[in-house]
Amino acid sequence: MQTLKLLEDVMRQKEQALIQYIRYMREAQDSQDTDSAALFADLAKAEEKHITVIRDQVANFSKSTNLDKYQSINQYTSQHFDETTQ
């Protein structure tokens, strides 16, 4: 669970950074500073890629965590059922 929480925190930070880069890019575009606008656009694209990777990791980790919970419940139920039928 700790890993999942850390991944979610990092993803939120990356999303905030993405928002900031887009703001900076638009400000640079408004001031006709094409070099800075291009730089912030590239940084925003990089953040989007990072967010995608982290989202995939969160989804995979969540599935495995939920699957582990399901498997342990299933195992407990199987053992308990076997004990009561013997």
pLDDT 10s digits, 4-50? 889 989 999 999 999 999 999 999 999 999 999 999 999 999 999 99
How far, in Å, CA of 22 to CA of 38, rounded?
11
How far, in Å, CA of 58 to CA of 9, rounded?
11
For each of the domains in the chain, give its residue range(s) and CATH number, in order of start. Answer: 2-85 (1.20.58)
For the record, the structure tokens of 40 come out as 């912030």
pLDDT tens by residue, 47-58: 999 999 999 988
pLDDT on residue 85: 45
Radius of gyration of the chain (CA): 22
Can you give the pTM of this predicted structure?
Answer: 0.69
Task: Give the chain's largest Cα–Cα span.
Answer: 80
